[in-house]
Amino acid sequence: MNIAVLGAQWGDEGKGKIVDLLTPNFSIVARYQGGHNAGHTVYAGGRKFVLRLLPSGILHDGITCVIGNGVVVDPQALFAEIDELAKAGISIGDRLIVSDKAHLILPYHRELDLLSEARRGERRIGTTSRGIGPAYEDKIARRGVRVGDMANTDTLSSAIRHNVEARNRLIGDSVMDADQVLADLRAAWTRMAPWVADVSLFLSRARADGRSIMFEGAQGTLLDIDHGTYPYVTSSNATIGGVCTGLGLPPRAIDGVLGVAKAYTTRVGEGPLPTELTGDLGNRLRETGQEFGAVTGRPRRCGWYDAVALRYAVRVNGLDALALTKLDVLDGMEELQICTSYRCHGKTLTEFPGEIAQLGACEPVYESLPGWTHPTAGARRYADLPKAAQGYIARLEELTGVPAAVLSTGSAREDTIIRDESVAAAWFGK
């Protein structure tokens, strides 16, 4: 059984914890898009780990982790992460496979990211400044440099010289040294080469051998380059289609899709967020939920649960179930709101609009539900949740159209409720 776990909102839904929790029931965890813009936080054995590029399964012994062709790889960021884990006693050994077709993030991509944001001024996207967008731009423009190119000195040298010259012409004032970039890449290849392989072939053989795979998404549905709130999105396909293109697998390789969503909504960076709360309530969610970016430390924008956006994520990804995270952050709130539709230019919308100006003009229509005083924090059985929390979850399920099969009530692995009767129970080995 191969399952995809992906973000159903604007990223930061808590995918890291859910992937880590599911991992023991799989043999391989594969990332299919994004890069080290992701920040997947996992608490294990009382320690906090933030995984950026490495799949969140890496903390478990014996699990093979795969970085697919759809991912953009900054070799220095990858090594820094591997070194950090080594310091914490976690060894990668031969448990990592990196696609030879994955594109590299090079030093000029980071510069171009900053430059492009500065030039956009008011229209800036609020990127993570990791060079993600410019690396994908080069890929689509067919001038990108791939991991496998590092094996061939001539190919690498001519591509890097050409790209660095173009960068020097564009930026002008500070000239980048192509020889230095090349020397760094040669050193990087020496370290990376043992992990590099044909990921599509590796995964299809693994499937034939009956090994199960978890596909780990980064960012979220509404940050998807095609289906997100364009142009305020990332540069890759975070939605389900990215699994096939980003790993070289057929659609039938995916047996189930678990969407991860918070019990409320957050977004980091620019772009519309219909249920955003700017006052005290927003601050309360941010402080209680510790809503600060795992990669950049930026405060996240917070708001109520948006069932219109969630229904859209269910449709685009074919979600079978939801993992609902951070339920405990709502503990102690007197009253909760759920956005059930939007009002836009005098009309009621029940479907998520594809056009950014229209989304920006949408006002949320709310339904109020009672909050709860008895805490959900740390609850490990559904029956232990206060009745009002159970009512809130039931209403979200009704509005979203899929079961909330997994509920997360705290940051530790153990603070999780897996509903026994749910489809996800089988994925968790229940």
Q: How far is the CB of 294 from ligand IMP (least distance, A)?
A: 8
User: Dihedral of CA 285/291/414/47: which sign?
Assistant: negative
Sign (positive or negative) of CA dihedral 237, 339, 424, 332: positive
Residues whose CB falls within 8 Å of the CB of residue 392, separated by 6 or more in sequence, listed in order: 263, 330, 336, 338, 369, 372
Active-site annotation holder among 20, 36, 40, 138: 40
Torsional class of 211: left (φ above 0), alpha (ψ -120 to 50), beta (otherwise): beta
Asked whether the beta carbons of 9 and 313 are under 8 A apart, the reply is yes
Nearer to ligand IMP, 266 or 341 (CB): 266
Q: How far is the CB of 236 from ligand IMP (least distance, A)?
A: 8
Nearer to ligand IMP, 212 or 296 (CB): 296
**378/384 Cα distance (integer angstroms):** 10
Task: Compare residues 110 and 207 and give the one whose CB is closer to ligand IMP.
Answer: 110
Bridge partners (DSSP) listed for residue 302: 266
Rounded to a whole number of angstroms, the minimum distance from the CB of residue 421 to ligand IMP is 32
Q: Is 37 or 99 the residue whose CB approaches ligand IMP more closely?
A: 37
DSSP, residue by residue, 2-64: -EEEEESSSS-SSHHHHHHHHGGG-SEEEE-SB-TT--EEEEETTEEEEESSS-GGGGSTT-E
In the annotation, is 103 catalytic? no
Task: Give min distance, CB of 126 to ligand IMP, in A.
Answer: 5
Tokens encoding 227 = 């289906």
At 427, list the tokens. 């994925």
The nearer residue to ligand IMP, 266 or 422, going by C-beta atoms, is 266
Phi/psi of residue 407, nearest 5 degrees: -125, 130
Nearest CB to ligand IMP, comparing residues 51 and 192: 51
Mapped onto helix, strand or coil, the DSSP state of residue 343 is strand
Cα(239)–Cα(319) distance, integer angstroms: 10
Task: Give the binding site for ligand IMP (CB under 6 A).
Answer: 11-12, 37-39, 125-128, 130, 132-133, 218-219, 223, 232, 234-235, 268-269
Give catalytic status of residue 12 as yes or no.
yes
Q: What is the Cα–Cα distance from 55 to 295, expressed in whole angstroms?
A: 15
- When the beta carbons of 234 and 237 are compared against ligand IMP, the nearer one is 234
Shortest approach of ligand IMP to residue 133 CB, angstroms? 4
Distance of alpha carbon 179 from alpha carbon 171, whole angstroms: 18
| 400 in Cβ contact with 32 (< 8 Å) | no
Q: Specify the residue, 294 or 369, whose C-beta has the smaller distance to ligand IMP.
A: 294
Helix axes 107-120, 178-192, angle to 10 degrees: 120
Q: Which residues pair with 64 in a beta bridge?
A: 28
Longest Cα separation, the chain: 67
Which has the closest alpha carbon to 228: 214, 218, 216, 238? 238
Closest residue to ligand IMP, judged by C-beta, is 269
The C-alpha atoms of residue 55 and residue 16 are separated, in whole angstroms, by 8
- The catalytic site residues sit at 12, 40
